[in-house]
Structure 1
Amino acid sequence: MRMKLPFSLSLASLKSGLFWRTFFLLGALTTTSMTAWVGMISVVQHEPQVQQLSAQVISVVTITHAALTHSAPELRRELLFDLVSNEGIRVFPLEEDDKVEPPADNALMPDIEKLVRAKLGADTRFSSKVNGVAGFWVSFNIDDDQYWLMLERERIRGLTGIQWLGWASVVSILSLLGAAVISSLVNRPLRMLTKATRDFAQGKRPEPLPEKGPIEIIEANRSFNQMVDELQQVESDRAVIMAGISHDLRTPLARMQLEVEMANLSDEAREGIHSDIHQMDAIIGQFLDYAKPTEASSFINVDLSELLRDTAHEAARLPDVRIHTDIADGAQAMGNATDIKRVINNLIENARRYGKTPDSDVTEIDIKCSVKGMHAAKRVVIEVQDHGVGVPPDQIEQLLKPFTRLDVARSQANGAGLGLAIVERVVQRHGAELQVRNRDGGGLLIQITMKAL
């Protein structure tokens, strides 16, 4: 079984987060809208654009034809020069050996050719390049002579979709940038709420979330702020109640202890009552330990190597325990030293009670500590294991539940069943990882992985 409170979000979860989903959805919507808009404009503007360009070509050819036809022969050279310099129109004789390339291949050209031929004659020819000179070339006749009229391409607009593509690209880029900004603004309140929730889960008191923006965000942040305040009040009330319970229960126990000492009882009866009183006191202590919060604000740099050695040395004094240690030097982590020591003591006590081998009255307990990884991935791994019979695999999950004992432990029950539940609660408060499994060779192994300094 593995119980874990993750230290950070992975890259894969980040990429599959709401920001990227919103960004891609807005990007897809923008691209689809842009494609539909360009297609619609192309269809709507096709006929008017064909009519306009055809009329322009027909007008230029007709005026040029009339000017050349009605001008005096000695003035034609000067007229051709004026057409070139002022209007960008060139006229060349059409020769049989001219190298002619076909007109531009676009959606408008076939309809332009059809309309122009209807006005200028079916023998009108078109070309995009004649004798290596690029332009918009159209032929016309003067009497029995044929001529080429060349217009500069800038005079004929809209024959290609390059401008449409350029504008569409610019608008698409701006739209994607806008989608990124919108996604960031939409997800910012959620990121703040997620961070505040994570801090609160780790025992920190988050800053109040801003109650502004859309009504849904205001209500969510207000509800979260109220929840934090109410839970803090509950926590404070619980601390007062637990302190009162500790005082109110242990005071009668102390009086009972004193009365037993003064009473005229046999040694056997006195020892039995003493045992019951100690058991009741231990159960009260377990309840208080389970209910006690672990504040992240109390965390300090804890030398886990030294703490484990001290704890192992103290446990080795017990007559029915034999401790074996393999503790690396320099294992340090942020935490509450008292709570971590309580966790290790609970694990040792759990192993002492239930980790005996059938043929021995002494419990063999191994305590190991190692440091793995480097830099941000550096971890301290603590292991406490016994050499007993272990736990049936299908019942391991039950071990960490409060007030739960397995059948094998019921006959020797002298607690409330909170030992491992306290361990799990403290480990989670420290942002660590807890694993419980059977040890190879027999026994139970409990492993705690903490972020190292």
Structure 2
Amino acid sequence: MRRLWRKSLAAQFIGFMLAALIVSQTIAFLISWDERTSALRAAAKSEFYSRAVSMTGLLQSIPPASREQALHASETTYSRFWLTDSGPGEARAWRLEALDQLSRPLDNFIDLSDQYHWAAPAKPKLPERSEVASENADEGWVSPPPAVWSLPQIARFIHFDRRKGLGIMVELGDGQWLNFASYQADSGRWWNSRSLTSVGLAALLLALIGALISHRISRPLRDLARSAEALGRGENLPPLAESGPEEVRRTAEAFNRMQARLRRFVEDRTKMLAAIGHDLRTPLTSLRLRTELVENAATRRKMLATIDELQGMTEAAIEFARGQSVDEKTRAIDLDALVGSICEDHADIDHPVTYLESEKTVYRCRPDSLRRAIRNLIENAVRYGGEANVFLRMNETTVDIVIADRGPGIPEDMHSKVFSPYFRLETSRNRQTGGIGLGLSIARAIAQQHGGDITFVMTDHGMEAIIALPCEGMCVRT
């Protein structure tokens, strides 16, 4: 789950939206719950006084013998009426008596829950006697405000169990007092089926909207990432679609401009070097002709050797520039077959080159450029290491082309220097043994155009030259 959260924009976007929904709904529930509780208490108090006024008027209009029957007929699951012959006494004693009255079964309650299989109105869960005796201990009987009690009869009001219970005593005028107690502790739950359904539907709707928005954002970003990776491997790509939100569209436009500038820069450099090489051929040819007129044979031979070296360096520089160009199209090839064919070509001319066949690997690359880099490393292994043993090696992030030899290898402090143009470990000026010094530069440039690199590793038997190519270019492995 954590890995999905880190890697997926959609998961993060939906997660943040759902978190915002939960927080906002919780705050809304807290606010509405407080308002609802206050409204319920006000409604309960209004109903309480209304029933007290109504019952007082009713009892005044009927014979005393019928009062008990009328009171019992008016009781509910959360209210009780009873008559006493004395007025308000000790508040604690009346609260305990009210609790006993509320615990009394109703005479007029008919339970049909078993017959119709629905839940009957729940009786309020009454508090313990010790709680009722200790709560509101500092509060006594008070007169109701005139706004809620306009009758001439004397009345006294009291709270019990904090503010959940309401009680009143009303003098009826013939020595009897009406006692009325109401207790409504259960004001509902925070979460019920309706609220859960509402939140669930809102969460589902937000998740769908979040998935749609994140997909609209992440798809161009994925295309941009793939194009950037392919550009790093030197592929010629069509311009990205400049669509989507403004920020994504501007990013695609910037990438297309960058790609065009890079391509134009490489093309201009290649054209410039090709022009330089072409222009140098004429003065070199003229210089060669004039050298032939030199009478001293030794001097003439040295001058011709210098001219050949200069011409070779010019041609090598042009080849180096072409090796870094991206004119060749990228296509999928069998990498195992490509490396095997190069090794067979060397074996056919009696070079000590062997290839250990591996699994078929289809890889996207520029085969002619890659062939040049592999051939260069194999020739170096044969020339300086006596032999070349070539094989493919699969890693988690790279596909390695390994060229192993049994030579002394390259000193570790020279691993980076050997890739510099015109740098040669072989100190003689003999091109037959040391070359121009651009072979490894060209090979590394080709590897880097594919998004990889070339490294050297010393082993117990010699040295390994490794062309490490990124696995992103691998199409199929069977």
TM-score by length of 1: 0.65
Choose the corresponding residue for 1:283, options 316, 333, 338. 316
Alignment of 1:40-79 (within 5 A): 40-42=31-33, 47-64=38-55, 66-67=57-58, 70-71=61-62
Alignment of 1:34-433 (within 5 A): 34-42=25-33, 47-64=38-55, 66-67=57-58, 70-71=61-62, 98=104, 102-103=125-126, 143=176, 158-162=187-191, 166=196, 171=202, 174=205, 178-202=209-233, 203-210=235-242, 213-214=245-246, 216-249=247-280, 265=297, 269=302, 272=305, 276=309, 279-280=312-313, 283-293=316-326, 295=328, 297-302=329-334, 304-305=336-337, 307-314=339-346, 317=349, 322-328=352-358, 330=360, 332-352=362-382, 355=384, 363-370=385-392, 372=394, 381-400=400-419, 402-403=420-421, 405=423, 408-411=425-428, 414=434, 417-431=437-451
Cα displacement string for residues 339-367 of structure 1 (whole angstroms, at most 9, x for unaligned residues): 222011111233345x3xxxxxxx32333
Question: In 2, are the aligned partners of 1:27 and 1:175 still within 8 Å (CA)?
Answer: yes
Equivalents in 2 of 1:397, 1:34: separation in Å?
Answer: 61
Deviates more, 1:243-252 or 1:421-430: 243-252
Residue number in structure 1 paired with 2:93: none
Give, in angstroms, the shift of residue 422 of structure 1: 2.6
Letter in 2 for 1:293: V
Match of 1:293, SS? Answer: coil
Greater RCO, CA 8 A, separation 6+: 1
Quote the residue 1:442 is aligned against.
462
Distance 1:323 1:294, change over 3 A: same
C-alpha displacement of 1:338: 1.7
Q: Tell me by how many angstroms 1:384 deviates.
A: 0.6
Change beyond 3 A, Cα 1:300–1:141:
same
CA contact under 8 A between 1:331 and 1:380: conserved in structure 2? no
Q: Which AA in structure 2 matches 1:403? A: P
The answer on whether the counterparts of 1:367 and 1:384 sit within 8 Å (CA) in structure 2 is yes
Give the 3 Å change call, closer, same or farther, for CA 325–44 of structure 1 in structure 2: same
Contact residue 316 and residue 322 of structure 1 kept, 8 A: no
Report which stretch shifted further, 227-236 or 177-186.
Answer: 177-186
In the alignment, residue 55 of structure 1 is paired with which amino acid?
A: S
The equivalent of 1:8 in structure 2 is: none
Change in CA separation of 1:269 and 1:221 when aligned onto 2, cut-off 3 Å? closer
Inter-CA distance 17–258: structure 2 relative to 1 (3 Å threshold): farther
Give, in angstroms, the shift of residue 383 of structure 1. 0.9
Tell me: CA distance 1:182–1:45, structure 2 relative to 1, closer, same or farther (3 Å): farther
Task: Give the drift of 1:230.
Answer: 3.4
1:369–1:383 Cα contact (<8 Å) kept: yes
Q: C-alpha separation between the residues in 2 aligned to 1:207 and 1:28?
A: 38
The CA distance in 2 between the partners of 1:121 and 1:177, in whole Å, is: 59
Is the 1:91–1:150 Cα contact (8 Å) retained in structure 2?
no
Question: Unmatched 5+ residue regions in structure 2?
Answer: 83-99, 106-122, 129-134, 145-154, 171-175
- Let me know the Cα RMSD of the aligned residues: 5.2
Q: 1:425 to 1:97 in 2, by over 3 A?
A: same
The answer to which of 238-247 and 93-102 deviates more is 93-102
* 8 Å CA contact 1:139, 1:147 repeated in 2: yes
SS at match of 1:162: coil
Letter in 2 for 1:288: A
| Deviation for aligned residue 1:26 | 4.9
Q: CA deviation at 1:78?
A: 8.8
Cα distance in structure 1, aligned partners of 2:287 and 2:465: 40
CA contact (8 A) 1:302 1:336 kept: no
Q: 1:193 to 1:96 in 2, by over 3 A?
A: closer
- Number of residue pairs aligned between Structure 1 and Structure 2: 406
2:339, 2:79 → 1: CA distance? 97
Call closer, same or farther: CA 1:23–1:344 in 2, change over 3 Å.
Answer: same
For 2:388, the aligned partner's letter is D
Matched-pair contact (CA < 8 Å) for 1:211–1:222: no
Aligned residue identity for 2:402: E
**Given residue 223 of structure 1, which amino acid in structure 2 is its aligned partner?**
A
1:405 alignment partner AA: F
Q: Mark the CA change 1:383 to 1:208 in structure 2 (over 3 Å): closer, same or farther.
A: closer
Query: Cα–Cα, structure 1 residues 118 and 275, in superposed 2: closer, same or farther, change >3 Å?
Result: farther
**1-structure distance, mates of 2:454, 2:18:** 42
Q: Kindly indicate whether the alpha-carbon contact (under 8 Å) linking 1:27 and 1:179 is maintained by their aligned counterparts in 2.
A: no
TM-aligned CA distance change 1:330 to 1:316, over 3 Å: same
- The offset of 1:391, in angstroms, is 3.2
TM-score (norm 2): 0.62
CA distance in 2, matches of 1:327, 1:17: 39
Amino acid at match of 2:409: G
Q: CA deviation at 1:25?
A: 4.9
SS of the equivalent of 2:421 reads: coil
For 2:6, the equivalent position in structure 1 comes to: 15
Q: Percent identity?
A: 17
C-alpha distance in structure 2 between counterparts of 1:323 and 1:315, whole Å: 6
In 2, Cα distance between equivalents of 1:210 and 1:379? 32
SS of corresponding position for 1:369:
strand
